Structure 1
Amino acid sequence: MTPPTEFPDLRLTRTPGATQGVLLLRVEGFLDYDNADAFLAAATQHLDDALPLHELHLDCAGLDGLDSMGLSVLLMLHRRTTAACAVLHLDDPSPSLERLLEITGTLEYLTPQHPAATTEADGRSESPS
C-alpha cells in the first residue's frame, strides 16, 4: 500500500491489486470543490502509473459525500479511465451516493454493472408492445 494522498477533508490511498492490470484506490472523506482538482490529479497520476490497465476500482465505502464538483471529477475520472481502455468500478457506494447518481442520471453511466442500471438498460432495449 502506498502512503495516502491527503487533501482538505479527503484521503486517496492506492492499495495493492490482486491481479495485474487492476488498480485499487480507496477514497475517504468528502469530495467537493475544495479538493476535487487535487483528487483528480492524484487519481489520474495513479492511473497513468498503473498502465496498461484493465480495471480501476474506486472503493467508495469511506466516501462521506460529494458536491457537484465531486460528481464532475468522478465523471472526468470515468472518461480518463475509458480513454485508457479500462473500466471504472465504484465499489461499495453508500445508499446516498447511489441515490445521488440516480437523481443526476449518472448511475448507469458510472456504474454499468449496478443492478438498477442493468434493469434500466434492459427496459430500454425492449421493443414497445
Structure 2
Amino acid sequence: MTAGVLNLTWARPEPGAAAVAVRGDLAHGTADRLLADVTELAGEAGLTRIVVDCGELAFCDSHGLAVLLMIQRRLSAAGIALDLDNRTVRLDRLFALTGTAALLTGSVPKARSQS
C-alpha cells in the first residue's frame, strides 16, 4: 500500500505538555516526519508529556508502528510520558496483534475482529 498524506497539528495544552493531532496515514514515506518532530521536541527543557491524538489516523503500517515504538523509547529515555489518545479500534487491534499494546498504551486490549 502506498502511503498517503500525513498532517500534524501541534498545540501546547498546558505547561510541560505538547499535543499533536495526527491526520492521515502513518506509514512508510510519512511516519518519519512525526519521528523527527517528536525527537526535536523531546530536547526541550521542561517537557514532561507528549500527547498524540490518533482519532483521525486513517492507516498505520509496520513502519508507522516502528516509528511509534521509537518515539516511545526516545521519550521514555528522556523522562517524557507518551499518551496515545483517541485510538481507533483498528489501531488498538494492531497493537494487540503485534504484542505492543502494553508498551505503547500501558494496557493490553483484546484483539478485535472489527476493522
TM-score where L is the length of structure 1: 0.76
Provide the identity percentage. Answer: 37
Q: Which has the higher contact order (CA 8 A, sep 6+)?
A: 2
* Structure 2, gaps ≥5 residues long: 110-115
Moved more, 34-43 or 86-95: 34-43
* Structure 1, gaps ≥5 residues long: 1-7, 118-129
One-letter code aligned to 2:31: A
Q: 1:48 aligns with which of 19, 32, 43?
A: 43
Instruction: Give the total of aligned pairs.
Output: 107
> Per residue, is there more helix in 1 or in 2?
1
Q: 2:11 aligns with which of 6, 9, 15?
A: 15
SS in 2 for 1:20: coil
The 2-side partners of 1:27 and 1:44 are apart by 16
TM-score where L is the length of structure 2: 0.84
TM-align CA RMSD: 1.8
8 Å contact 1:23–1:47 — kept in the other structure? no
- Show the 5 A alignment for 1:1-129: 9-17=5-13, 19-49=14-44, 51-112=45-106, 114=107, 116=108
Larger radius of gyration between Structure 1 and Structure 2? 1
